[in-house]
């Protein structure tokens, strides 16, 4: 896939995007040795430690708002942890050091290191629970409604794209809970593209014409929903969401985290309340978006990354690097 629109350095937060590229690259390289070793905890630990070490070198006052858990649950990159040199822009940071840990541990595709960042106070502090999501690319921005049925959304998106409904491709995670959504798509004679894990890639795919995905729908992790929203904000796409607390305890946790109406529909601007943001990811194993880490004969490592920046001059690049 060729590199696209050139990235601008306008804005203090966006200016750090290339520093965060190094963070994701180092996390992917650190995780490489655990591909196919059926030990996802070691893989995740290697990725998180590499991220933490590299982020502490960046001139910023960063705080993790979406990370590896609460402080007493995860020793690295916990929610509320402060990172950086203490000088520079104040950032909210959302990370998934190994998106698709189970896939990577089994030697399967679609694992990557992921980071999103925005100015302080602008990323939703999403609890680790399920979230209903629907995402589209720039041409269908403003046409989706999380409260409407998938059928209604598909008809609206088809109209915005100038397509027949039957021509749409809808990406859905292959889970029993999505049988109804899959049936809706098939009843409309449209195409389903199923995936096993990692809906961040699916959300991004809606904004890149080369990947031939018109819409992402389904229920997945809330933290990943915020990260995907940041990516789509940089790409000019759209995402709406709704938290799905499965118990009274989860509902009350939402309230404690500042979400007074946990079941309220959320727009992309609720999830990411600033244009001053960026998204960075580096492939660990191959995916439709990125190539995985490669070790060359001379011992050097080859990485493939994607960087997207928001703001007044948004852009994105695919970057291949040798380390």
Instruction: Please report the DSSP string for 169-212 in residue order.
Output: EEEEE--GGGHHHHHHHHHTT-EEEEESS-HHHHHHHTT-GGG-
Dihedral of the CA atoms 63, 68, 74, 77 (nearest 10)?
Answer: -30
Lowest pLDDT segment from 34-38, 75-79, 168-172: 75-79
C-alpha 107/C-alpha 92 separation (Å) is 32
Residue 287 backbone class (left: φ over 0; alpha: ψ -120 to 50; beta: rest): beta
Residue 249 pLDDT level (bands cut at 50, 70, 90) = confident
- pLDDT at position 126 is 82
Q: Is the per-residue pLDDT at 4 higher than 70?
A: no
For the segment 246-259, the average pLDDT, to the nearest whole number, is 84
- pLDDT at position 85 is 95
**Which residues make Cβ contacts (< 8 Å) with residue 46, sequence separation at least 6?**
30, 31, 33, 34
- Which pTM does this prediction carry? 0.91
Query: pLDDT (tens digit, 9 = 90+) per residue, 230-242?
Result: 999 999 999 999 9
C-alpha 174/C-alpha 171 separation (Å) is 9
Neighbours of 71 (CB within 10 A): 12
Return the percentage of the chain with pLDDT > 70, whole number.
93
Antiparallel, parallel or unpaired: β 82-83 and 61-66: antiparallel
Higher per-residue pLDDT: 190 or 255? 190
Contact 193, 168 (CB under 8 A): no
Q: Is the per-residue pLDDT at 180 higher than 50?
A: yes
DSSP string of 221-254, one letter each residue: EHHHHHHHHHHHHHHT-EEEEEEE--SHHHHHHH
C-alpha 61/C-alpha 67 separation (Å) is 16
**CA angle at 94 for the pair 138 and 83, rounded to the nearest 5°:** 140
Q: What is the DSSP letter of 218?
A: E
- pLDDT at position 69 is 60
For the segment 42-52, the average pLDDT, to the nearest whole number, is 90
What value does the CA radius of gyration of the chain take, rounded to a whole number of Å?
Answer: 19
Which of helix, strand or coil describes residue 83?
Answer: strand
Which of helix, strand or coil describes residue 111?
Answer: coil
- pLDDT at position 64 is 94
C-alpha 283/C-alpha 285 separation (Å) is 6
Higher per-residue pLDDT: 128 or 194? 194
Higher per-residue pLDDT: 224 or 11? 224
Q: Is the per-residue pLDDT at 258 higher than 80?
A: no
Which of helix, strand or coil describes residue 272?
Answer: strand
Query: pLDDT (tens digit, 9 = 90+) per residue, 273-312?
Result: 999 999 999 999 999 999 999 999 999 999 999 999 987 6
Lowest pLDDT segment from 53-62, 71-80, 300-309, 310-319: 71-80
């Amino acid at each position: 896939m060729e590199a696209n629109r050139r990235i601008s350095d306008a804005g203090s937060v966006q200016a750090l995007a290339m520093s965060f590229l190094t963070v994701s690259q180092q996390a992917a390289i650190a995780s490489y040795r655990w591909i196919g070793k059926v030990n996802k905890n070691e893989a995740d630990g290697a990725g998180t430690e590499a991220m933490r070490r590299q982020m502490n070198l960046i001139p910023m006052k960063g705080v993790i708002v979406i990370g590896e858990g609460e402080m007493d649950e995860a020793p690295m990159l916990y929610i509320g942890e402060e990172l950086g040199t203490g000088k520079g822009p104040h950032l909210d940071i959302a990370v998934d050091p190994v998106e698709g840990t189970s896939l990577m541990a089994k030697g399967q595709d679609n694992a990557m290191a992921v980071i999103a960042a925005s100015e302080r106070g602008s990323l939703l502090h999403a609890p680790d629970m399920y979230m209903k999501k629907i995402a589209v690319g720039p041409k269908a921005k403003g046409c989706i409604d999380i409260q409407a049925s998938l059928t209604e959304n598909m008809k609206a998106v088809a109209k915005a794209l100038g397509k027949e409904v039957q021509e749409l491709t809808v990406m859905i995670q292959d889970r029993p809970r999505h049988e109804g959504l899959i049936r809706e798509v098939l009843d409309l004679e449209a195409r389903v593209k199923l995936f096993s894990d990692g809906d961040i890639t699916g959300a991004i795919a809606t904004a890149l014409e080369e990947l031939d995905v018109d819409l992402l729908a389904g229920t997945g992790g809330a933290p990943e929903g915020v990260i995907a929203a940041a990516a789509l904000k940089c790409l000019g796409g759209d995402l709406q969401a709704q938290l799905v607390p499965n118990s009274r305890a989860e509902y009350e946790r939402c309230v404690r985290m500042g979400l007074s109406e946990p079941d309220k529909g959320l727009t992309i601007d609720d999830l990411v309340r600033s244009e001053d943001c960026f998204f960075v990811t580096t492939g660990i194993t191959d995916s439709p978006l990125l190539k995985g880490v490669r070790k060359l004969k001379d011992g050097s490592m080859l990485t493939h990354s994607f960087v997207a920046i928001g703001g007044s001059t948004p852009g994105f690049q695919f970057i291949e690097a040798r380390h």
